[in-house]
Structure 1
């Protein structure tokens, strides 16, 4: 039996995440639409576009739109230039060496601080926490990007930031560069670099200022 071609209006579209919802013409349901379900076109979906589509059931059990196209827009291959993904640069020697240098530069102060902390307090927790949480955070970034491509529910930004704050920010930084995920969202980047700054200031104070900055911060917060 040939699938029925349906029609509806795009009522929600999150361009940065590549998905939205179609209100069917009979108003019976909202249908999930992922960017990968659209036939090749130069036109980016916008709220108000009329979408022609067929229905399918995804792995998550939700009804998805498939074989979709925007009414009034001619399907055509994307320009060849758009098929030259920037990610290929990631695997070039120059890009790799640049990433390694950035990681080394960012990890130098926390690494020295964590080693000094372990030697003076006999507490190796920071030395263990940084690599473990970085691995966990990188894995969460990769999982979140995979979910975005598949149109599944995403990992919350609060959860990612919490892992970064708990020591996984270096893994988050590597994931942003290698996976090109969360690297263009300004609001996310602001919070991310605030977390990085907190860690760097803490170890800077530990190594060179005799913990005066940390003590001052605690006194201001807890003594008003």
Structure 2
């Protein structure tokens, strides 16, 4: 379905951006290879595009092209930003403001719980409640969980095939919940989506409860 909108964000070094349209509730993702020049996309550019939906990941724009006549001085429909000191002083500065991840108030508590959890696993192994391979396997699983998150973030930036959210939750459920939380914050991936966060906390809780029940009952 063809629609029109305005480019509100363009990550030139990453090759993707977002279009805002009154015809769509969410901002629409598009990749540089889907842009049909001339020139390059810029914030404030009026465009027309074909909207598609792939795998439940939100709207995506294809065959993006600038509307004619081009709006040379149009501004994106976003709140104005204060110029950085380097820009006020006339020194060269990047036209793209650096994205800053919001601080996660739960990251530090999760890390402390993970440390205590690792100590608990060590005690359970030493006392014979769990096999000797459990703690090394848990550490390896967490490293793998971070790698899976990184791969999904990489695919999202380039418009490649994504890792299903259920797969990400599966690794948390199996024990990778500490590194999943770290990956969400460090990679700025899945850290804001409310439904994903609810499922993440559920998987972490179920895993901890299941292992504790195993140790107590065995």
TM-score scaled by structure 1? 0.57
Distance in 2 of aligned mates of 1:68 and 1:86: 30
Q: Distance in 2 between matches of 1:113 and 1:206?
A: 13
State the match for 2:165 in structure 1: 157
Structure 2 counterpart SS, 1:50? strand
**Residue 71 of structure 2 corresponds to which residue in structure 1?**
74
Query: Which is richer in helix?
Result: 1
Partner of 1:85: 99
Residue 9 of structure 1 and its aligned partner are, at CA, apart by: 1.1
Shift of 1:127: 0.3
The number of residues matched between the two structures is: 164
What is the rounded CA distance, in whole Å, between the counterparts of 1:130 and 1:113 in structure 2? 12
CA deviations over 1:155-174 (Å, ceiling 9, x no partner): 11111111111111111111
Residues 12-64 of structure 1, C-alpha deviations (whole Å, 9 max, x = no match)? xxxxx9789xxxxxxxxxxxx72555612248x9xxx7339xxxxxxxxxxx9
1:40 to 39, 42, 50: 42
Extract unaligned runs of 5+ from structure 1: 1-7, 12-16, 21-32, 53-63, 216-224
Q: What SS does the corresponding residue of 2:49 show, helix, strand or coil?
A: strand
Alignment CA distance shift 1:18-1:160 (3 Å): farther
1:116 pairs with 2:123: yes
Gaps of 5+ in 2: 5-15, 20-28, 36-40, 51-60, 83-95
Larger Rg: 1
